Structure 1
Amino acid sequence: MQFDAVLLPSRRAAMVAQGHWRDRTINDSLDECLRTCPDKVALTAYRVEVGDVKRFTYAEMARMADRIAVGLTRLGIGKNDVVACQLPNWWQFSLLYLACSRIGAVMNPLMHIFREHELRFMLGHAETKLIVVPRRFRNFDYESMAKGLQAELPALRQIVVVDGEGPDSFNALLSGPAWETEPDAAAILTAHRPNGDDITQLLYTSGTTGQPKGVMHSANTLFSNIIPYSQRLRLGTDDIILMASPMAHQTGFAYGLMMPIILHASAVLQDIWQVTKAVEIISAEHVTFTMASTPFLTDLTREVAETGKTVHSLRSFLCAGAPIPSPLVEQAQKVLGLKIVSAWGMTENGAVTLIDLDDADERAVNTDGKPLPGVEIKIVDTTGAQAPAGTEGKLLVRACSNFGGYLKSSHLNAMDEDGWFDSGDLARMDERGYIRITGRSKDVIIRGGENIPVVEIEALLYNHPDIAAVAIVGYEDARMGERACAFVVQRPGSQKLTLADIVAYLREKKVAMQYIPERLEILDTMPATPSGKIQKFKVREVLRQRLAAEQTS
């Protein structure tokens, strides 16, 4: 694969001179851990459904990473080849990334919620050579899905199955054979190690164009975010970091997989969010920090309040993905006894803003934080001029952690010649430089921290034989932040649609369940401009009125 990371070269000299890009990779961090703390527990992975717990010391982690790396080369994987990983938060996910980094392959994490519709595009676009999937997870057969897609994807040479049986299993191909003891292993593990500017991660994000965009990150862009992030949160070697958010998101990948190794700390993974289990894990493993979206914090607070169990070791909880309700912050601090940290970021640049630990609690409620070191932000009006403090405008970001560009879509990079990236979000900034996200200029709904690709789902629904027009909008939800509502105008003579009809239709299209609207509203006509463009602000107002009427009835 040739990676067109066009946004990196022009920034290199300045980023190196300012000390943000240090040309370090995860290999350097892992090797340091192997030298300084080989017997420290590096990774503890809980599989909730099967009741399994797997632990690795740093020495064991490094050895297994080397083993899997050599195994990948035996399957024809080399430098700049894309290895996809559609796994939950299992130890194989972490070790696979470390193995890819040993040989210069590029990891493409894929959310386990994706089905054929999403995977067909992503795997084809990335020219993926190998994908690792579970045999089954949460009653879904990933092995059959992957093998069913392989015939449509000429670049996809190999499917490796965790918990699989036979020659295609992860154990048979990668983690079982002692590949690291083979005569050529040492040469393989050193010949193609990546440098700081090589692409190390390809992560797809939902956009407004109807297709996902492949975000390219180098070690330099990721490290330049993770290091100041951990410093602001005062995280270090002694911390134990719980990650229950999916590692196929930037949240889980950067701060659950990479950050603990960079800090020489310990990571704890939970593959399925069950709050009772989370409390048990926090207590048993003495977890000190975690990061997740609002629903996780809501559940944790309620569980502790109702059961009387404690999470005394947990010092801070970084909550991002949606504004944190004020009552939740107050209750969480009282019940859990920890600091709630608000933040904002994107796949394209990681965490951009977060509050300080010494900030007043109200900052977590009323703001999304201030920029990290190496990050500049500005709010501009419709003319491009900087907006006054407290005024809503378009949020631009210029950061050391800004990505290298969108794979094969440089025309969508949204970065100007001065290095300002258009986030697609609207925000306002106060006199102290703290921001508050106020809306999105791009058409994306965020449900429980998961971006719903509105344009893509609308396009599928337009093909429904009974639908003449469709508009999907978000509405507030106390637990998930937002949920999606589909407004449709039916074709004349068609039978009245139900939400069940919409769900069944999109499931037939193999759409991820989290992307399917959870409410349906029928309209006689769709509000539109004279040119025919749907006026979504009017659709949102109709929804607001109907929700209000339901609450008062």
Structure 2
Amino acid sequence: MFFAPTLFKQTRPVDLILPLQNQLPQLQQLVGVDKLAPATSALSLSQIIADNTPLTTAITVHGDELAAVLFTSGTEGLPKGVMLTHNNILASERAYCARLNLTWQDVFMMPAPLGHATGFLHGVTAPFLIGARSVLLDIFTPDACLALLEQQRCTCMLGATPFVYDLLNLLEKQPADLSALRFFLCGGTTIPKKVARECQQRGIKLLSVYGSTESSPHAVVNLDDPLSRFMHTDGYACRRC
């Protein structure tokens, strides 16, 4: 079974995959995720949901079975499909939540795509594990993100440095109440000193993180670390739970 959006920007992924079905005998069903456009050439996800009732009993799986295949960005070569087991994912997210003292009372702001390790692991999986709430952005814009941070009283956010930079620029023109925000976890690239200092001046706790699709996160700073720690390092190795 293969799930694909019916529309992505100006492209219709389902229509691109259909001609390949004859070359993939193991592919039994193509499902169109019909949020933005109707599924005209494949079974629609909305129809599957309408025609079926939720399971009353949990499906039994083994911890070492394949849970997800996430693709890397290809920073050091060609993108790779990383095969993660249930145990891989649970160990990663339990360590992440423990290091940052995340609980059911937290509200996650997640601007990253859910097909990316950041969005899938920290925006969906972690909140499920601890019973927290996650606020998802379809497309990141500073205006939409800042409005949701304030309205939903988000307590934590994770994203690359450009997200922080855009939000700081908007806050110059459009002040907002971010008193609920405990921290902004920043990874993917170096954090400029200017950005770190501006966050400190605005009362935004900026934390650095390092990870990869294969194991995210590898290292995170502690919540009580001084500014010098996250400006020059990515903290400490995460202890797997």
Partner letter of residue 28 of structure 2?
A: R
RMSD between aligned alpha carbons?
A: 2.1
1:276 correspondence with 2:143: yes
Deviation of 1:258 after TM superposition, in Å, equals 0.6
Match of 1:372 in 2: 238
1:171 correspondence with 2:43: no
1:295 correspondence with 2:162: yes
Out of 115, 118, 127, which is 1:251 matched to? Answer: 118
Deviations 1:276-310 (CA, angstroms, capped at 9, x unpaired): 00111111211111111111111111111222233
1:309 correspondence with 2:176: yes
Match of 1:343 in 2: 209
**In the comparison of the two structures, how many residue pairs are matched?**
237
Deviations 1:69-128 (CA, angstroms, capped at 9, x unpaired): xxxxxxxxxxxxxxxxxxxxxxxxxxxxxxxxxxxxxxxxxxxxxxxxxxxxxxxxxxxx
Partner letter of residue 281 of structure 1?
A: L
- The unaligned stretches of length 5 or more in structure 2 are none
Larger radius of gyration: 1
Mapped partners of 1:218, 1:135: distance in 2: 28
Question: Contact between 1:298 and 1:328, CA under 8 Å: does it hold in 2?
Answer: yes
Deviation of 1:211 after TM superposition, in Å, equals 4.6
Question: Contact between 2:188 and 2:210, CA under 8 Å: does it hold in 1?
Answer: yes
The two structures have a TM-score, normalised by structure 2, of 0.89
Mapped partners of 1:364, 1:136: distance in 2: 40
Question: Contact between 2:110 and 2:135, CA under 8 Å: does it hold in 1?
Answer: yes
Mapped partners of 2:144, 2:20: distance in 1: 35
- 1:136 to 1:155, Cα distance in 2 relative to 1, 3 A: same
Out of 54, 77, 99, which is 1:232 matched to? Answer: 99
Which structure 2 residues correspond to residues 92-241 of structure 1 after superposition, within 5 A?
130-163=1-34, 164-165=38-39, 168-172=43-47, 174-180=48-54, 186=56, 189-190=57-58, 192-205=59-72, 211-241=78-108
Match of 2:128 in 1: 261
Deviations 1:392-450 (CA, angstroms, capped at 9, x unpaired): xxxxxxxx7xxxxxxxxxxxxxxxxxxxxxxxxxxxxxxxxxxxxxxxxxxxxxxxxxx
Question: Contact between 2:6 and 2:32, CA under 8 Å: does it hold in 1?
Answer: yes
- 1:213 to 1:160, Cα distance in 2 relative to 1, 3 A: same
- 1:208 to 1:155, Cα distance in 2 relative to 1, 3 A: farther
Question: Contact between 1:304 and 1:310, CA under 8 Å: does it hold in 2?
Answer: no
Partner of 1:140, secondary structure, is: coil
Deviation of 1:158 after TM superposition, in Å, equals 1.8
- The unaligned stretches of length 5 or more in structure 1 are 1-129, 375-399, 401-553
Question: Contact between 2:68 and 2:84, CA under 8 Å: does it hold in 1?
Answer: yes
1:352 correspondence with 2:218: yes
Mapped partners of 2:7, 2:119: distance in 1: 21
Deviation of 1:270 after TM superposition, in Å, equals 0.6
Deviations 1:325-345 (CA, angstroms, capped at 9, x unpaired): 00001112223x221110111
Deviations 1:237-258 (CA, angstroms, capped at 9, x unpaired): 1000111111212111111111
Partner of 1:203, secondary structure, is: strand
- 1:371 to 1:195, Cα distance in 2 relative to 1, 3 A: same
Partner letter of residue 366 of structure 1?
A: H
Question: Contact between 1:241 and 1:268, CA under 8 Å: does it hold in 2?
Answer: yes
Percent identity of equivalent pairs: 31
